[in-house]
Chains A and B, each alone.
Chain A
Amino acid sequence: DAGVIQSPRHEVTEMGQEVTLRCKPISGHDYLFWYRQTMMRGLELLIYFNNNVPIDDSGMPEDRFSAKMPNASFSTLKIQPSEPRDSAVYFCASRPKTGKSRNTIYFGEGSWLTVV
């Protein structure tokens, strides 16, 4: 089975530009999570969706960040305008609602964002 797929793997952009990160969760998974990894805070949850509906976005740092999930197989995390302090690795993850794996989340390989 294909895992969580993220794109782009690497993105270098100039301050002020819009950045869009994309995620395809594992098929059949009901929950989708966006995490950001930084040295200081480790893996911090930005937002998560249940059946395409945003449930908790309290981790989104500022209004410059927004996330959507138009269908069960696609989500985007957008930063507009981007700033150098947004430079980090952004991970998408998913998990099923039921079954043996319901207590485990599965990560994509991450999108490495550098804002210069």
Chain B
Amino acid sequence: DQQVKQNSPSLSVQEGRISILNCDYTNSMFDYFLWYKKYPAEGPTFLISISSIKDKNEDGRFTVFLNKSAKHLSLHIVPSQPGDSAVYFCAASSGNQFYFGTGTSLTVIP
């Protein structure tokens, strides 16, 4: 059973606008959350993370929000750029295990 879910397989956004990618998890024991970005024919690369003791973490154009009560995680990209077009995976960890969602394919339209 998927402990981390990304219910939107794809998302299209106009260049310059905000992209919001969502993620839900089921295990309340998760204490660290990450977003990875994956281009075709490449491995996932780390993008941004957040500890469960925080509700927001920002890095340049990327901000991750954590709502522990709702068990919900989101990634905001502002402004979106064509180079952001990729598959985004959210992940959650508890101890040594990392659980990933199925990914959301983001297309930023120029």
Give chain A's interface residues, CB within 8 Å of chain B. Answer: 4, 31, 33, 35, 39-45, 48, 50, 55-56, 91, 93, 103-110
Contacts and interface: CB of A to CB of B under 8 A. Distances in A.
30 contacts: A4-B43, A31-B96, A35-B100, A41-B102, A42-B2, A42-B100, A42-B102, A42-B103, A43-B44, A43-B89, A45-B97, A45-B98, A45-B99, A45-B100, A48-B97, A55-B96, A91-B43, A91-B44, A103-B32, A103-B34, A103-B49, A104-B34, A105-B46, A105-B98, A106-B46, A107-B36, A107-B43, A108-B43, A110-B41, A110-B43
A41 B99 CA distance: 11
Interface residues of B, number: 24
Nearest to B43: A107
A48 B93 contact: no
Nearest to B46: A104
Contacts, number: 55
Nearest to B103: A42
Interface string B43-67: 1111001010000000000000000
A39 B89 CA distance: 12
A107 to B, nearest CB: 4
Contacts of A104: 34, 46, 49
Contacts of B49: 103-104
Given A91-B43, A109-B42, A33 B98 contact: yes
Contacts of B6: 42
A93 B6 CA distance: 21
Contacts of A40: 102
Given A45-B99, A107-B45, 7 more contacts: A42-B100, A43-B89, A43-B91, A43-B103, A45-B98, A107-B44, A109-B43
